[in-house]
Structure 1
Amino acid sequence: MKKVIIAEKPSVAKNIADAFDIKTKRDGYYEGEDYLITWAFGHLLQLYDAKDYDESMKSWRLEKFPFIPEEFKYKVKSDGKNKAIEDVGARKQLNIIKDLIDREDVESVISATDFDREGQVIGDEIFLYFNEKKPIYRILLNEWTPEEVKKGISQLRPNEEMKSLQDAGIGRQWADWMIGINLTSVATVKYNSGSKKILNIGRVLLPTLKIIYDRDKEIEQFEASTYYKLLANFKTSQDEVFEGTYYEKDEEGKDNEKFDNKATLESMVELIKNKPAQIVEKQVEKKKEYAPFLFNLSNLQGYITSKYKGWTSDKVLKVAQSLYEKKYITYPRTGSLALEESLKGRTKKVLDTLKIGLPYEGQICFADHKRIFDNSKVESHSAIVPTYIIPKSLTPDEQVVYNAVKNRFLMQFLPIAEFEETKLITKIIDVPEESLKGVFISKGKVQLVEGWRIVEKFEAKGTKEGKENKDTLLPQVTQDELVEMKNANVAEVTRKPPKAHTEKTLLRVMETCGKSFKGDEKEEGKEESEEDTLKMMASILSGFSIGTPATRAETIKKLKDAEYIRAKGKSLVCTDLGKALVETFPAKQLLDLEYTGRLEKTLSDIEKGKFQKDEFLSMIKAFTEEAVEAIKNDTRVLSGTKVEVPKNMEPVGVCPVCGNAVVENEKAFGCVNWKSGCKYTIWKNDKYITMLGKNVTRQMVELLLKNGKVGFRNLKGRNGNTYAAYLKYVKNDQTGYFNWEQEFI
C-alpha cells in the first residue's frame, strides 16, 4: 500500500522525491513504489466572501454590517486577475490530490506543509474540504535536505496531535476575516464616499501604521536645541597628538561634557592657552566582544535592508524562502535566535562542510555553549542557518542572503573578539581650580584578538558595503606624564530629532510590541547590546508581538500599497491619508499596540493549548460589532480621502478640513465631501457678512481658502462707523460648525 505526501509547493515535493530517488513524474505528482508525492500552491482554498453567504452583500451598505456568518466556509481560491471566477490551476490540483487520496492502493496521507501555524492550515483546509476519512500524519521538518526528509518520515506524528496549531491558524484566519471584511467595508462607505479607493483596515495593519505615525509626530514636535563642547589637542614628547573632551561634574556628581553657555567655554580657551598639562590617570581595561546571535527572520531582514540599497523586508523573505526550498538554508520564518540542543551533531556536520577552504579555516572550532544551543530560547523553529548542501549556482540576490546567513553561522565558532579600552584623564596645570574645575577625557581602543570579526573583514573585501574599522587609537603614555596643550576650540552641537523608522527599526518594534530597547536608536548596521538582545529574545518568546515573522514583511508592503505610508530613501513615513486614519479612526483599540499584542499572545497560547479558539473568536466578534457601531456613529471627517469633483463644477479652493475641493452651487460654497460629514460650507446669504455690509463672493472665498483669512475695508460697525479687518472662518470644536472671527487691521 502507498502513502500520499502533500507538500506546500512543487519545489518541496521535488526535494522529497529526490530524497527517495523517485524519478517518475506524472501530471501534478511524483509516483514511487511507496509514495505518491503531490503539492499545493500555498493556499488552494480561501474563505467565502460576504457575498458568497448572501447575494445582497455585493453592494456595501452601512445597515448590512456587522456581517458575521454562523459557520465559516471555504471555496477554491479566486483567480488572481478576475476575483469573480475560481483559479483553474487550483481547482485542477485539488482534483489531482483528491483522486490520489481516493486510490484503492493508498492507505494514508502525510501532510508535509511548513511546520508553522500557516502551513498547518494549508494542509488542514484541504482535509476539511474533502471531509477526509483516511488516516492523516504530519512530517515536521526545519529543512528539506535528503537526510532530514528520511529522518522526518521515520518520525511521523498523527495529524490530530496538531489540533492546537490548527486552532491557532484557523482562529487567526477567521478573526482577520471578521475584522478586515467588516471594518474595511464600513470605513470605506463611511469615510470614502465619492471615491473608488478602498480603506484597508486590518488587525495588524493599523497598529503598525500607528508605530510609524508616533515616530513622525516625535520628529515633528522635536524642538531643536544647541549645546557646546570644549575640545583640546595634546602633544606628547614623541610628537604624537591626541584629542580630549572637557568634562565637569554636574549637580548630581555625574561627568558632563555638554554646556549651554558658549561664552564660558570660550573664556576657558583663553585661560588654558599654552599651559602645560599632565596625564593624571590612565585606565586600561581588557574587554570581550561576542559574535552577534544567529539570525531570526526579523534580524535578517533588518540586517539586509540596512546594509544594501533597494532591499525591502518582503524581498528578503522571498529570497530566503527560495534558498529554503532549494535546501540551502533552514526554515526562514522563525523568531528564534538559537538552535535546539538536539541539533548539535547536525550543526557540527554543517560546520565541517562549510569551513573547508576558508582563509580562516584553522581558527574555526565547533563549540557547544548556550549562546548557540538553548531550547529555552527556541520557539517552534530554530534560528536560520545553512544546511550541509553547498550551493552550486545562486542569483546575485540569493548570494547576498545566503552569505549573510552563512557568515553569521561561522562567526559563532570563531574565537571571541578581544580589545583593550584605554581612558586618559588629562588636567591642565597652572590654572586655578575654581577657574577650571574639570578635566579632559580621551577614550580609545586597540583590538587584541580579531576573533569572529575576521569574517567581517573578508566579507568587506571588494564590496562597497565594507567599512574600515575607525576605532580611535591613543598614543603610548604613562600616568603623570607631562604633555603639551597644543590648541583648543569650542564645538557647537545641535541636538538631532529622532530618526524616522526604517524597515529594520519597524520590524524590531513589531517583534517586541513596542517595548523600547537602547538598540532601537543605534546607528544603522550596528548590533544591539548583549543585554538588549536577551531582553528582546524574552519578549519574542512570550508571543506578545505585532504579527508573526511570516506576516510582518507583508504588513509593511500592504501599508505601502494602501498608500498609508511611503518610503523616503530607507525611511518610512506616513502619508496624509495614513495620518488622517490614525487621528480620526474611532475604533482606537485597533491602534493600540498593547491590545494587538494581547491578541497575538492569545493566538500563541491557543497554539500551546493554553487558550480555546472559541473564546478567542467570541472576543473578536464582540470587538468587531463594537467597532462597526463606533464607525457608523462617527461624526468626524477623514481627511486625506479624495472625492471626485462633479464634471460641471470648477473648484474654488481646497477644503481646510479634509483636503477635498470646495465648489460653488446656487446657494453656497461647500466641500464636495459633504456625504461623509464634512461641514465646511459658506452660505451666500450669510447673515453675519450681510450685517457687515458685504456679500459672499467667489473671489472672497478663493482668498479665504488660499490665505486662511480675507481682508475687507469699509466694514460697518454697530455704531455706524466703518473700519478694516481680516475675517477668518473658524471651526467650533464643540458643535463642529464654523463661525466668523475678526482680526483688526
Structure 2
Amino acid sequence: MKLVIAEKPSVAAEIAKVMGAGKRGNGFYSGNEYLVSWCVGHLIETVMPEEYDAKYQKWKMVDLPIIPGTWKYQVSAGVQAQFDVVKMLMEREDVDQIICATDAGREGELIFRLVYNQVGCSKHFKRLWISSMETKAIKDGFAKLKEGSEYDRLYEAALSRLQADWLVGINFSRLFGCMSQKPLNVGRVQTPTVNLIVERQRAIDSFDSRPFYILTAECTDDGTKFNATKRVEEKQESERILEKCAGKPAVVTSMTKAPVKENPSALYDLTTLQREANKMLGLSAQQTLDATQNLYEKKLVTYPRTDSRYLTGDMVDSTKQILQSVLQAPYLHEKTAKEYQLGSASMERLVNDKKVTDHHAIIPTIEAYKASERLPKNEFNILLLIIYKLLTAAYISHEYIKTELLLEIEGEEFKATGRQITENGFKEIQSHLTELLKQAQKEDESKKKKSRKKQEEEKEEEIIPALSEGQLIEEVSLSSKEKTTQPPKPYTEDTLLSAMENAMKTLEDEELRKEVAGAGLGTPATRAGIIERIIKTGFVERKGKNLLPTEKAYEIVEAVPEKVKSAILTAEWEQKLEQIYKGESTSKEFIEGIEIFVSELVGGYKENCVYDENGREIIGECPRCGKNIYEGRLNYYCEGGKECGFTIWKEDKFFISKRKPLTKPMVKRFLEKGRIKAVNLYSEKKDKHYDAFIFMEDTGQYVNFKLHFPKN
C-alpha cells in the first residue's frame, strides 16, 4: 500500500478521487492500493519554554536567554485526533511507501517532515511536486514522483527558520516584555512590519504642509483650446507673473513628439495579486489568499503561494490552449472574445525560466471557463483578475505619441503634455475587466466623480493642436490656483505589501542588498498572515483601507533595537537559509549564529540591569531615602514602603494626556538624571505631535512631571 499525506482535507479528497481511492474512512481515503490522509495544516509545533523547565512559566530577565539543548515538539492543540490517524496509517504493516503531497514549498515540506519525525517513522518516502490540482497535473505528478531525500536541504532550511524564529520571538518578547512590564510580542518579521507603519505615521505627523501655486495659461489656437502650466513656490512670485504676463501672447519655443510603447505587466505572483485585489476590490491580503486557495482547490487556478511572475518554456503550448479555453467563458465581458486577437498574443513574453524556482506564476487552468457567477463573490472576482491578467500579459503593447510643448510668455516658461493613442492594445482588454468589476461593485458617487474628472483630464491632454516653433498664440488667458504639498499617505494593504516585498532595497550594506535581491519581509505565503496578526494583536488598526499604528506599536518600536525592527535581520536570514538550501552552508552553523546573536543582545541589556539577592530587578535608587526602587504591577515603588512613600505610577495622568506610555527605561533615566528627552508627545489642544524634555519633580509627598522646551 502507498500512503499519501496531503496538507488539507480538500486536497486529499481531490488526490484520492484522481488516484481511485474512493472509499472514505475516519480521517483518510482508501482504494486502488492507495491510502490518502491529510495534516490539517501544522499538526506539529515547537513547545513553549515551560515544557523545558517549569521555572520559565514566569517571565524573568534573570532566566534569559532560553536556548534549548535538544528541541522538543508536540501535537498542535485541537488536532490530536488527526495526528493519531496519520500515525496509525504510517505504522501500518501493509504500508511500504509514503508519498509527501503537502504544498510544494518550504512550509509544506516542514509540515510533512515534522509529522514524519514525530511519529518516528523510518519508511521510504517520495515527493509529489505539482502546481495545479487539475486531474492531468496530479496524474503527471504521480508518474514523476521524486525521492524525498532530494528535498532534505529544503527541509533543513525550513526547520532552521522555525527554530530561529522561536529563539528570537521567545527571548526578545520576554526581554522587552520584562523591561516594559507589559506583554510584548516581538517577531523577526512582524516587528519590522509594525515599524514600517509607525515610521510612515511619524512622517505624516511631522509633515510640514506648504503652499505652492499652479499658473495656468489657457490657450486657443484656431478654435482649439489647451492648457500649459507653470509651478511656483511663493504667492508673490505667482502674483508677479500674473501681472507681468496678463494679456500677453505666448510663443511656441519647442514642440516635440515621440512614439511611446508600453508593454503589459507580467503575470501575477501572490503579492501582486493581493495588491491589485486590495486596490481594485478592497480585499485584504488574507481574503485574497483564501479566495485564491479555494480556486486552486477547485482546479480553476494554479498554485497561489508563488513568488514568480513568469512561466517556464515547456508551458508555451499548454498556456495557449488555456487562452483559447478561457476566451470561451460566458462570464467574460461580451467584447473580450470578439475583440481579442489570439494570433497577436505572445506566449514567449510570459516565459522566463531563470525567474521560476519552485512554482510558476498564477494563471487560470484549462478548466476555468467552466466556472460561473455562482462562485462566492470574492472567488469570482479574483478569478476574473487572474484570467484578464493572462489575457493582457500576453497581448499587444499599448502605443501612443507623446507630445511635449513649451511656451514662453514674457520670458516665463509654461509646459503642456499630451498623448495621442495609436494602438490601444492590452489596455482595451484591461478596460473590459474594469467595466465588469464596476458592474459587480456599486461605486459611490465620489468615485464616479473622480473617474469622470480623470477622463476629462485625459481628454484635454489628447487635443494639443499641431504647432510650430516660433508660432505666436494671441489668445491666452492666465489664472493661478493655490495648492498645498501633501504628506505621505498611510499604508494600505496594497502599499504595505509592496513595502514588505521591497524592504531589502533600503539596506545600506550594498553587498548584502545584492545577495538578498528578491527577498522581502516575509514570503508571499506569509505576508497576509503577518498583517492579520499585527492587527489581531493590537499593534495596528484598520480605518477604511488605511492601516494605522496604535500606542502599542509605538511602545514596541521604541523598546527594541534597530537590528530587530529593521529588515536587516530578515535579509541576513534569507541569505543564510538560501545557502542551506543550496548546500553552501549548514543548519547547525546558522542556528549557532542565531544563538550567539540572541545571547549577546540579551546579555547587553542584562548588563545594564541590577538584581537583588531574590532575583528582583533594581530599577534605581530612591531620590528620597536612597533605598532600592522596584517595579510593581501598577507602579514603581521604594522598598522603604510607607516610611518613604516614593511612588511613580505607570498610569500617571501627565503621560496619559501626552499619549506617551511611561516605560521602565524612562523611569530609570528619571531616577538617574531627573529628566528625559521625549519624542512623539501629543498635544490635544493643537492636535499635533512634538518633542520636549520632561523633568521629574519630587515634592516629598508627590512626584510631578513638567515640560521644558529647549531654546533653538
TM, length-normalised to structure 1: 0.77
* Structure 1 residue 512 displacement after superposition: 1.9
- 8 A Cα contact 1:680 1:738, kept in partner: no
* Structure 1 residue 410 displacement after superposition: 1.0
- 8 A Cα contact 2:516 2:571, kept in partner: no
In the alignment, the residues of structure 2 paired with residue 67 and residue 681 of structure 1 have an alpha-carbon distance, to the nearest angstrom, of 31
| Identical aligned residues as a percent | 27
Selected match of 1:293 from 253, 258, 266? 266
Cα distance change, pair 156–554 in 1 and its aligned pair in 2 (3 A): same
Selected match of 2:407 from 418, 421, 426? 426
Cα distance change, pair 452–632 in 1 and its aligned pair in 2 (3 A): same
* Structure 1 residue 35 displacement after superposition: 1.6
In the alignment, the residues of structure 2 paired with residue 376 and residue 672 of structure 1 have an alpha-carbon distance, to the nearest angstrom, of 50
Q: Which amino acid aligns with 1:498?
A: P
Which residue of structure 1 lines up, in the alignment, with residue 114 of structure 2? 125
Which residue of structure 2 lines up, in the alignment, with residue 73 of structure 1? 72
More helix by share: 2
Structure 1 segment 131-530 matched on structure 2, within 5 A: 131-192=120-181, 198-237=183-222, 239-246=223-230, 258-309=231-282, 311-356=283-328, 359-361=335-337, 362-365=340-343, 367-368=345-346, 371-390=349-368, 391-392=371-372, 393-428=374-409, 436-461=410-435, 463=438, 464=443, 467=451, 469=455, 470-471=457-458, 472-479=461-468, 481-515=471-505
Q: Match of 1:164, SS? A: helix
* Structure 1 residue 292 displacement after superposition: 1.5
- 8 A Cα contact 2:299 2:365, kept in partner: yes
Structure 2 residue 543 is matched with structure 1 residue 562? no
* Structure 1 residue 444 displacement after superposition: 1.0
Q: Which amino acid aligns with 1:120?
A: E
Cα distance change, pair 366–385 in 1 and its aligned pair in 2 (3 A): farther
- 8 A Cα contact 1:117 1:165, kept in partner: yes
Q: Which amino acid aligns with 1:224?
A: S
- Long gaps (5+) in structure 1: 79-86, 247-257, 429-435, 518-537, 663-670, 683-704, 709-727
Cα distance change, pair 385–225 in 1 and its aligned pair in 2 (3 A): same
- 8 A Cα contact 1:262 1:490, kept in partner: no
Q: Please give the per-residue CA displacement for 1:624-655, whole angstroms capped at 9, x wherever unaligned.
A: 22233344456799xxx996589xx9999963
In the alignment, the residues of structure 1 paired with residue 421 and residue 658 of structure 2 have an alpha-carbon distance, to the nearest angstrom, of 64
Which residue of structure 2 lines up, in the alignment, with residue 730 of structure 1? 695
Q: Which has the larger radius of gyration?
A: 1
* Structure 1 residue 681 displacement after superposition: 8.8
In the alignment, the residues of structure 2 paired with residue 591 and residue 410 of structure 1 have an alpha-carbon distance, to the nearest angstrom, of 41
- 8 A Cα contact 1:294 1:338, kept in partner: yes
In the alignment, the residues of structure 1 paired with residue 191 and residue 390 of structure 2 have an alpha-carbon distance, to the nearest angstrom, of 35
- 8 A Cα contact 1:232 1:485, kept in partner: no
Structure 2 residue 562 is matched with structure 1 residue 588? yes
Cα distance change, pair 53–491 in 1 and its aligned pair in 2 (3 A): same
Cα distance change, pair 660–351 in 1 and its aligned pair in 2 (3 A): same
Which residue of structure 1 lines up, in the alignment, with residue 13 of structure 2? 14
Q: Match of 1:360, SS? A: helix
Q: Match of 1:162, SS? A: helix
Structure 2 residue 82 is matched with structure 1 residue 93? yes
In the alignment, the residues of structure 2 paired with residue 622 and residue 562 of structure 1 have an alpha-carbon distance, to the nearest angstrom, of 29
Cα distance change, pair 502–707 in 1 and its aligned pair in 2 (3 A): closer
Q: Which amino acid aligns with 2:99?
A: I
Cα distance change, pair 642–551 in 1 and its aligned pair in 2 (3 A): farther
Q: Which amino acid aligns with 1:458?
A: H
* Structure 1 residue 477 displacement after superposition: 2.7
Q: Which amino acid aligns with 2:272?
A: N
Which residue of structure 2 lines up, in the alignment, with residue 524 of structure 1? none
In the alignment, the residues of structure 2 paired with residue 738 and residue 561 of structure 1 have an alpha-carbon distance, to the nearest angstrom, of 36
Selected match of 2:590 from 613, 616, 621? 616
- 8 A Cα contact 1:277 1:427, kept in partner: yes
* Structure 1 residue 183 displacement after superposition: 1.8
In the alignment, the residues of structure 2 paired with residue 133 and residue 590 of structure 1 have an alpha-carbon distance, to the nearest angstrom, of 39
- 8 A Cα contact 2:515 2:575, kept in partner: no
Q: Which amino acid aligns with 2:195?
A: K
Cα distance change, pair 651–56 in 1 and its aligned pair in 2 (3 A): closer
- 8 A Cα contact 1:653 1:706, kept in partner: no
In the alignment, the residues of structure 2 paired with residue 631 and residue 112 of structure 1 have an alpha-carbon distance, to the nearest angstrom, of 45
Q: Please give the per-residue CA displacement for 1:444-466, whole angstroms capped at 9, x wherever unaligned.
A: 11222121112222122251379
Selected match of 1:579 from 539, 542, 554? 554
- 8 A Cα contact 1:7 1:38, kept in partner: yes
Q: Match of 2:350, SS? A: coil
Q: Which amino acid aligns with 1:615?
A: E
Q: Which amino acid aligns with 2:300?
A: Y
Q: Please give the per-residue CA displacement for 1:144-190, whole angstroms capped at 9, x wherever unaligned.
A: 11010011111111111101100111011111111112222232233
- 8 A Cα contact 1:542 1:601, kept in partner: no
* Structure 1 residue 352 displacement after superposition: 1.6
In the alignment, the residues of structure 2 paired with residue 46 and residue 630 of structure 1 have an alpha-carbon distance, to the nearest angstrom, of 30
* Structure 1 residue 123 displacement after superposition: 0.6
Selected match of 1:108 from 97, 103, 125? 97
Selected match of 1:626 from 592, 600, 610? 600
In the alignment, the residues of structure 1 paired with residue 538 and residue 82 of structure 2 have an alpha-carbon distance, to the nearest angstrom, of 35
Structure 1 segment 704-715 matched on structure 2, within 5 A: none
Cα distance change, pair 313–271 in 1 and its aligned pair in 2 (3 A): same
Q: Match of 1:458, SS? A: helix
Q: Please give the per-residue CA displacement for 1:287-308, whole angstroms capped at 9, x wherever unaligned.
A: 1111111111111111111223
Q: Please give the per-residue CA displacement for 1:365-402, whole angstroms capped at 9, x wherever unaligned.
A: 47556541001122322111111112244100111211
Q: Match of 2:308, SS? A: coil
In the alignment, the residues of structure 2 paired with residue 116 and residue 301 of structure 1 have an alpha-carbon distance, to the nearest angstrom, of 19
TM, length-normalised to structure 2: 0.81
- Higher mean displacement: 417-426 or 106-115: 417-426
- 8 A Cα contact 1:344 1:368, kept in partner: no
Q: Number of residues paired by the alignment?
A: 630
Cα distance change, pair 540–553 in 1 and its aligned pair in 2 (3 A): farther
In the alignment, the residues of structure 2 paired with residue 93 and residue 644 of structure 1 have an alpha-carbon distance, to the nearest angstrom, of 45
- 8 A Cα contact 1:660 1:672, kept in partner: no
Q: Please give the per-residue CA displacement for 1:498-535, whole angstroms capped at 9, x wherever unaligned.
A: 22222222212211225269xxxxxxxxxxxxxxxxxx
Which residue of structure 1 lines up, in the alignment, with residue 615 of structure 2? none
In the alignment, the residues of structure 1 paired with residue 252 and residue 240 of structure 2 have an alpha-carbon distance, to the nearest angstrom, of 23
Q: Which amino acid aligns with 1:620?
A: I
Cα distance change, pair 642–202 in 1 and its aligned pair in 2 (3 A): farther
- 8 A Cα contact 2:221 2:475, kept in partner: no
* Structure 1 residue 609 displacement after superposition: 2.3
Which residue of structure 2 lines up, in the alignment, with residue 54 of structure 1? 53
- 8 A Cα contact 1:190 1:631, kept in partner: no
